[in-house]
Amino acid sequence: MWSSPERPAYPHQALAVVLQVRARRLHAMLWRRPNEPFAGAWALPGGPLLGEETLGASVARQLASKVELGHLAHLEQLETRSDPGRDPRGRTVATAYLGLIPSHLDPELPEDTGWHPVEDLPATAFDHGSLVGSAVGRLRAKLSYTNVGFALAPPTFSIAELREIYVAALGYDVAATNLQRVLLRRGVLEPTGETAPPGRAGGRPAALYRFVQAGLEVTDPFAVFRPPCGR
């Protein structure tokens, strides 16, 4: 790689923050580093950008070693980090992506890789814990003004099931009736005409819904979901 004092060349890494709602909690996918620096610490999937690769192709290649790419319902560029001190081996630039996996899937992961609740992360390498925080912030913001919930939810769901996903992703309680009203008014959801099988307690079968679009779109650019008063 060509460089000069006026135009130095630094290693560039592509990283992925993959999030999924599992057991009613938002989790991030991390792998345990075998080597120094930060041997034994948990890190985001990723690695060096190769000479002929785009960032998108690089992050897809890195993710393919950890999870089947078909499980990702959404992938977008998150941010670039260029702090000279973020890597003890020398200056390294990193561009992170945010990936989302729907809650009904259970991807098979390598032995060195696992899911960790975002509010209770283990010790992480480099600035990867901070990048998870940035990804969670991006997701929570987009849940307010886009239809990104489609990438967290199964193909069909009851409003009660969707509420659990939103509560886990947002980190605070949301009323099911309010969520249903808001998303139907925006045209984000549509009824399937089917109902869920009755539970053990019986009662009226719950209507099933689905997201109208399985791709990201802005639905209300000025909307904000707000936590309950006192939080």
164-201 confidence digits (pLDDT tens): 999 999 999 999 999 999 999 999 999 999 998 876 66
Q: Which of 146-150, 201-205, 213-217 is predicted least confidently?
A: 201-205
Do residues 69 and 134 share a domain?
yes
pLDDT at position 60 = 96
pLDDT, mean of residues 70-91: 96
Going from the C-alpha of 138 to that of each of 14, 17, 76, 134, the distances in angstroms are 18, 11, 10, 6
Mean pLDDT of 20-27: 98
Residues 220-226 have a mean pLDDT of: 82
Collapsed DSSP state (helix, strand, coil) of residue 97? strand
Domain stop point among 86, 112, 144:
144
Contact 107, 67 (CB under 8 A): yes
Residue 219 inside a domain? The answer is no
Same domain for 76 and 166? no
Question: For residue 230, is it within any domain?
Answer: no
Choose among 76, 82, 68: nearest CA to 146: 76
Residue 164 shares a structural domain with residue 76: no
Rounded CA gap, 46 and 40, in Å?
Answer: 16
Mean pLDDT of the chain: 93
Model pTM above 0.85: yes
pLDDT of residue 2: 46
Is residue 19 located within the same domain as residue 128?
A: yes
Position 7 confidence tier, pLDDT thresholds 50, 70, 90: low
Q: Are strands 93-100 and 12-22 parallel, antiparallel or unpaired?
A: parallel
Do 95 and 27 sit in the same domain of this protein? Answer: yes
Instruction: Tell me, yes or no, whether 28 and 118 share the same domain.
Output: yes
Tally the domains of the chain.
2
Q: What pLDDT does 201 receive?
A: 63
